[in-house]
Structure 1
Amino acid sequence: MVDFGFSRFGLKFREVMFQNSKEFTFNNEDVCLYHQNINDVGMLDIIKPKYSRIDTQYTIHTDLSVSEEELNIKISKNFRYEIRRAQRENIKIHFLKGKEALESPDILNQFEQTYNNMFVEKNMSNRLNMKYVIAALKAEAMVLSIAIDGKSGQTLVYHAYVIDEDNALLLYSASKLWTDKVLGNLIGYANKYLHWEDMCYMKHVGIQNFEWGGISSKDEPNGIDKFKMSFGGEVVQLKNCIFANSLKGRLYVKVLKERDKRKNEINN
């Protein structure tokens, strides 16, 4: 189970992942971010009375209990080729877990800069929540993986996962693809290779459930959805919940729900 807190917007946030809802209790947080356990058959009845925003989301789940050979054969033929190409191009993979990553502030700063710059190039407002990242690392609940060009030493791709003993969830993925067009093909190879090495690493440390961080649609997948699906996982449906546990928390959730309503009105 993952359970840690952090402060943002003057609120106390608490992240809870991979816990059965029947075992869940609130603490002193203003807002609880709850990600449903993939093995939880409950319907969140115990926390339904709380003021909440519940998002039922499709995601891709990869079962890491099978052999590496079985994992590899499920990957699309083109992706398997690009993974091998990355190895030939001397892409190096490095993992940093928890406090080990905190001891490498330069890497964290580069990760944040790469992520933010990527979305600036896309004309999107997404920004890395570094307070969340640091809190997760302090709780030993996050692994950062990086793909490095073995020839130049330049880091090309970053992935960040929230983990516990049995589960891993892809939270952030950032690359220099949007800011370095010259290395575009190499970055593409490196990204696919890094995802493959991520799965192997998680499997080797005993994790069985590997989640790909959500898709927009199972019936009409976009480009990112198709990318994730090409690694051979199964489409499943899980709930991402935001629960208010104080008056300030209720105001925060209310703002989110009003923002969702405006977006739906614009889209419709």
Structure 2
Amino acid sequence: MKPKVKTIWFSHAVSPWRALWLTDYQRSTVTRRVPGFVQETFFTKLIDLTQSEESLLMSFSADTRRLIRRADKEGIAFRESSDIDEFVRFFNRFSGQKRLNYWLKADSLRKRVREYRITKAELHGDILFAHLYLCDRNTSRATILYGASILREEKRDISGAVLSSANRGLHFYDMCRLKQDGFRTYDLGGYAPDTTDDELRKINDFKDQFGGRLVHEANHRSILLNWASGAINAAVKFKQRNRNRPVDAAQVSRTG
């Protein structure tokens, strides 16, 4: 039986008493170190959804606006989905091709995320991109937790420009849908300031095209949970080496 982990999102306070339990504060505004917890600095970009859709679009880079408008001409369809199993299959295929070394499990996601949204960009019935959001009503914030895409090698008949249109168009579609549903903040899901990693720089550049403001937050994991996670990680990796099978991402990070 797996231990129960209490995950608390977007908190403005970290209780010292929680250090005695398996507690995981995610994206807290408390950026100082708290006794009994292991801290991880986290940066992300937040976009204000209270502005009009026109103002939102105009806050993007000119190239991003052009690609979003092109998506409609290319016949790209943007949809919401309630099929978490389909998303997991799509993500796991993407993860395997990109050699990310972890998989998702639908049951773990259902337990971890109280309210989630799934969106996808399709062309002729094929999924090009898909997003899964954690939606928090208390803070009116929607955070992209996982995103996946079809790889260019799979669809050589689709140009890079079309894929770029689908990618940017899906983000704008998501922002508009979430805005209509009362969410006030769109969280692009992480940012790596001052990174020297070329891949992370490309991700930063992509997110910068949507504007928004850079915010500093922190994750706080109780020392007890940190120790337990280390033990579980070691056991899972040992089993993986012996069985040569992929690891569930929720299993090696946090559950509950």
TM-score range relative to shorter protein: 0.7 to 0.9
Would you say the 8 A contact 2:142–2:178 is kept in 1? yes
Once the two structures are superposed, residues 167-217 of structure 1 have per-residue CA deviations (whole angstroms, 9 ceiling, x without a partner) of 111110011125524235333321111100111111111111211111122
1:61 aligns with 2:46: yes
Query: Which SS does the other structure have where 1:135 is aligned?
Result: helix
Once the two structures are superposed, residues 107-166 of structure 1 have per-residue CA deviations (whole angstroms, 9 ceiling, x without a partner) of x333222222223222331322534421245x3x211111122xx212221101111221
Q: Which moved more, 1:52-61 or 1:120-129?
A: 120-129
Match of 2:240 in 1: none
1:154 aligns with 2:126: yes
Q: Which amino acid aligns with 1:15?
A: T
Query: Which SS does the other structure have where 1:217 is aligned?
Result: coil
Query: Which SS does the other structure have where 1:90 is aligned?
Result: coil
Match of 2:76 in 1: 91
Would you say the 8 A contact 1:159–1:170 is kept in 2? yes
Would you say the 8 A contact 2:133–2:142 is kept in 1? yes
Of all paired residues, the percent bearing the same amino acid is 25
Alignment partners' CA distance in 2, 1:71 and 1:80: 10
Aligned length: 227
TM-score (norm 1): 0.73
Query: Which SS does the other structure have where 2:163 is aligned?
Result: helix
Query: Which SS does the other structure have where 1:180 is aligned?
Result: coil
Would you say the 8 A contact 1:20–1:36 is kept in 2? no
Q: Paired residue for 2:24, among 33, 41, 46?
A: 33
1:121–1:184 distance in 2 versus 1, CA, 3 Å: farther
Alignment partners' CA distance in 2, 1:126 and 1:75: 33
Match of 2:251 in 1: none
Match of 1:18 in 2: 10
Alignment partners' CA distance in 2, 1:210 and 1:79: 17
Q: Paired residue for 1:252, among 217, 228, 231?
A: 228
Alignment partners' CA distance in 2, 1:194 and 1:73: 16
1:196 aligns with 2:172: yes
Match of 2:191 in 1: 215
TM-score (norm 2): 0.76
1:25–1:88 distance in 2 versus 1, CA, 3 Å: farther
Query: Which SS does the other structure have where 2:179 is aligned?
Result: helix
Would you say the 8 A contact 1:117–1:179 is kept in 2? no
Alignment partners' CA distance in 2, 1:142 and 1:123: 26
Alignment partners' CA distance in 2, 1:164 and 1:14: 16
Deviation at 1:223, TM superposition (A): 0.6
Q: Which amino acid aligns with 1:20?
A: H
Structure number with higher relative contact order (C-alpha < 8 Å, ≥ 6 residues apart): 2
Alignment partners' CA distance in 2, 1:59 and 1:176: 25
Would you say the 8 A contact 2:31–2:216 is kept in 1? no
Give unmatched runs, 5+ long, in structure 2: 235-256
1:95–1:23 distance in 2 versus 1, CA, 3 Å: farther
Q: Which moved more, 1:128-137 or 1:168-177?
A: 128-137
Deviation at 1:84, TM superposition (A): 0.9
Deviation at 1:25, TM superposition (A): 6.8
Would you say the 8 A contact 2:132–2:144 is kept in 1? yes
Would you say the 8 A contact 1:121–1:178 is kept in 2? no
Match of 2:110 in 1: 134
Alignment partners' CA distance in 2, 1:162 and 1:43: 22
